[in-house]
Amino acid sequence: MQRVSQRAPLHAVAGLDAAGYLAVADRLQRRLEPLWDARLGRYEPGPGATDTEVNADLLLVHSVAALQGHDGPTRADARARSIARFLVSPAVWTDRPPLGADPQVTGPGWVAMPGRPNRHLVFDVEAIDGLVHAYLARDVLRLDGRTVARIRDEIHRVATSSDWRWPALRLNQINWYCAVLAADAVVNANTSALAGGMGRYVARFLAGAAPQGAKAGNLGPGLRFHYLPDRGLRTRSNVDSAEYANIVLGFSRYYGLARDSGMAAPAQLDLLHEWVRRVLAGYWTHSGYLNWDTGLGFSRWHQRKKSALSQLALIGVASSPELQPTAAWGAWAKWMLDRGLTGYVAQVEREHGIPAALAYGVNVVPQSRANAYLAAARYESNAARALEAGIGRRSAIRPPALYSFDPDTGRLAVTTAAYNTAIVPVNQRAIPYGGIDIARLFDARQDVAANIGGSGAASFGLTARVGGRVALRTQYGDRGFNAGATPLRLTRAPRGAGVSGTDTSRRAYAGPFTDLRASGEVHDHGIRATTHYRFTPGWIEARWTLRAATDVDPVTTFPSWGSRAHVVATLRDGRIVTLGAGTRPLASVRSLHIVSEHSGYQVLPLARPAGALIRLVTPAPQPADPHPGPTVEIVLATGRTASFAARIIIDAPPA
């Protein structure tokens, strides 16, 4: 076997090869080393019920390293043997759920950690994934015969139990069942069950894409994902779910094995291609991080363990040519995967340790430190999964600028090599941000250029006040679903221009673009405000117009992020000044530079309305924007009409 040095380079921009994936795993392994407990013979992540998952992921890593003949930190044969014995032992394996376990599982499987009754489908699947790879490496690892036999027996017992055999299904999450069928095929040669079972599960998911009566179905008109398909469209969780859409598409990891085992190509392969297009363009960014909106709200939003779990879809798409709309989408999936892996490693090294379980300071639903370690273990194991899937031999191509649009909710996601953002007109009150303006703004490295969410002064948008009280906002926050409405329209797009919220075509309005335009309108208290956005690969143009029956006081806002954020103005006479208290005429300013904690952007006014002023305000932290910096307000003249336009150019990250 080829031996790969632990000193292999980590390429942050070019696609990772075998050495690159092992370098990712090695760097993360060094940070997780303190978790190893020699007395227990396993990794001990601490309170948080992640023992089974963390050990299974790292067993997978050690097994792949052994198969590769690697000589780096991830090569730990003795640990792999010990972990494998732990995972098949009664410490975490159970013939039946203990008292107090989750009622969704009733048969054999794995608990979250010794002494805890927690059961969940993901515990079974993660344990099985690690054990399958230990089985594949059994000769190199020198696994004892009893452990090998227990691996085969326990996986088969789970795969054939009532919890897992057809037609068992948790919501629409076919991925778990495909994973278990694939595992049984690998360790017990049960390939016919994989071919038949996975074929039925995929067909079932695609057949359930559209609504059936009052049930939402699996996918919306623009192929957004419904977490609770048997509930109605107005259900909060059904607004969308970037993380669960990718978790379900993770079935693609086993697609090639199922086809080789005799599974026929799906009858609705064209619909599957459309969904892959929607998932990649609508839920991922060029930085390899999720373009994240979710109806699960703070119970999922920015959990790093979920972003790592979501990467399984990228691995599957990149390694399954038949699922790719064109070959380019496979190369783009690999790019996103590789950038996500190297981006996480960069964050680890920036913080000199494993980052918090939640990104960007979000902490409404706290996560234990053990979940931070689970995220790291999942990222590390994803590097090993990519290597094992042969993705290191495939090409990675930086995607062009991509977008996706869902006509019924108006969600417009945009990612380019320079920035990523989204407009979220309807959030069904799952998370307190949303409106007809961009909801957030990140740079190419996924650092916060402006904000991560929020409303009011912490957001982009136009606010109109009457008598000092807010009468209208274009970034309004909560907004319920209204069937048949069209909260945002694409006015120029390769796909979807002019499509309305009544669309039922089940087509992905998603893909590459060079010039994308959208507009929205909101009414309140006799005031009508309109936003017009133009997105290009390098910059964003925003235009606001307002009409009212009486005089109003309008302002437009440009937020920043972080405790060290500040604003620098380039004046018309060439001087550069840092803005402080007080106001300054907009007419005297050529451009503004919003300098956030690690990133920023420029605001170039495209017009300077008479009497307009610039001032800074300091927003209070919000759950969806916990670390706001100062916000620039463009104060427009009091009246019944107003307009303002600006070009937004995001700072390029340092080389």
Whether residue 430 lies inside any domain: the answer is: yes
Rounded to whole angstroms, the Cα distance separating 37 from 225 reads: 41
For residue 490, give the nearest of 395, 413, 572 by alpha carbon.
413
Same domain for 372 and 332: yes
CB 510 within 8 A of CB 491: no
Burial of 400 (0-12, 13-18, 19+ CB in 10 A): middle
Query: Of 371, 393, 415, at which residue does a domain stop?
Result: 393
Same domain for 474 and 452: yes
| Amino acid letter, 44 | E
Same domain for 68 and 196: yes
Q: Across the strands, what pairs with 529?
A: 522, 546
Rounded to whole angstroms, the Cα distance separating 406 from 328 reads: 23
For residue 114, give the nearest of 87, 147, 75, 96 by alpha carbon.
87
Same domain for 428 and 369: no
Same domain for 389 and 431: no
Same domain for 313 and 452: no
For residue 172, give the nearest of 128, 130, 216 by alpha carbon.
216
Same domain for 337 and 424: no
Same domain for 446 and 325: no
Residue 484 tokens, joined: 């048949």
For residue 485, the model assigns a pLDDT of 86
What ranges make up the beta strands (E) of 38-191? 42-43, 93-94, 109-110
Phi-psi region of 73 (alpha: psi -120 to 50; beta: other; left: phi over 0): alpha
| pLDDT, mean of each 10-residue run, the chain (655 residues) | 35 77 98 98 96 98 98 98 98 85 84 90 97 98 98 98 95 98 98 98 97 95 97 95 98 98 98 98 98 98 98 98 98 98 97 98 97 98 98 97 97 98 95 96 98 96 96 90 88 97 93 98 95 98 97 98 98 96 96 98 97 97 97 98 98 85
> How many CB atoms are closer than 10 A to CB 224?
28
Rounded to whole angstroms, the Cα distance separating 601 from 475 reads: 20
Q: Cα 321 vs. chain centroid, distance in angstroms?
A: 22
For residue 250, the model assigns a pLDDT of 98
CB 438 within 8 A of CB 431: no
CB 515 within 8 A of CB 492: yes
Same domain for 586 and 528: yes
The SS3 of residue 231 is coil
Rounded to whole angstroms, the Cα distance separating 105 from 555 reads: 54
Q: Which domain CATH number covers 60? A: 1.50.10.20
Whether residue 141 lies inside any domain: the answer is: yes
End-to-end CA separation in angstroms for the chain? 36
For residue 1, the model assigns a pLDDT of 28
CB 558 within 8 A of CB 592: yes
Q: Across the strands, what pairs with 413?
A: 404, 422
Whether residue 181 lies inside any domain: the answer is: yes
Q: What contacts 158, CB < 8 A, 6 or more positions away?
A: 107, 108, 109, 124, 128, 164, 180
CB 464 within 8 A of CB 548: yes
Residue with the two structure tokens 């089985």? 135
Rounded to whole angstroms, the Cα distance separating 226 from 461 reads: 28
| Amino acid letter, 156 | H
Alpha helix segments (H runs only) across 33-75? 51-67
Residue 215 tokens, joined: 């049930």
Same domain for 326 and 222: yes
The percent helix, strand, coil of the chain (3-state, each to 5) is 35, 20, 45
DSSP H or E segment with residue 149: helix 145-159
Residue 182 tokens, joined: 């694939």
* Segments forming the whole domain that contains residue 447: 402-498+512-650
Rounded to whole angstroms, the Cα distance separating 200 from 159 reads: 15
Q: Which domain CATH number covers 475? A: 2.70.98.70
CB 319 within 8 A of CB 390: yes
Same domain for 481 and 337: no
Is the N-terminal amide bond of 167 cis, ω within 30° of 0? yes
Q: What is the total count of domains within the chain? A: 2
Whether residue 4 lies inside any domain: the answer is: no
DSSP 446: S
Residue with the two structure tokens 């607004």? 239
For residue 20, give the nearest of 342, 438, 411 by alpha carbon.
342
> How many CB atoms are closer than 10 A to CB 582?
9
For residue 205, give the nearest of 232, 171, 236 by alpha carbon.
171
Whether residue 1 lies inside any domain: the answer is: no
pLDDT digits (tens, 9 = 90+) for 483-520: 778 999 999 999 999 999 999 888 999 999 999 999 99
Same domain for 319 and 440: no
Q: Across the strands, what pairs with 635?
A: 555, 613
Whether residue 505 lies inside any domain: the answer is: no
CB 212 within 8 A of CB 272: no
CB 604 within 8 A of CB 649: yes
Distances in Å between the Cα of 273 and the Cα atoms of 87, 210, 508 are 37, 16, 9
Burial of 78 (0-12, 13-18, 19+ CB in 10 A): exposed
Phi-psi region of 482 (alpha: psi -120 to 50; beta: other; left: phi over 0): beta
Query: Of 393, 428, 445, at which residue does a domain stop?
Result: 393
Rounded to whole angstroms, the Cα distance separating 546 from 463 reads: 10
CB 124 within 8 A of CB 109: yes
Residue with the two structure tokens 């972990």? 83
Residue with the two structure tokens 């079974």? 124
Helix H, strand E, coil C: the string for 450-465 is EECCCCHHHCCEEEEE
Whether residue 9 lies inside any domain: the answer is: no
CB 228 within 8 A of CB 237: yes
Whether residue 233 lies inside any domain: the answer is: yes
For residue 308, give the nearest of 354, 273, 364 by alpha carbon.
354
The SS3 of residue 583 is strand
pLDDT digits (tens, 9 = 90+) for 350-387: 999 999 999 999 999 999 999 999 999 999 999 999 99
Q: Across the strands, what pairs with 523?
A: 528
For residue 14, the model assigns a pLDDT of 60
Rounded to whole angstroms, the Cα distance separating 386 from 532 reads: 41
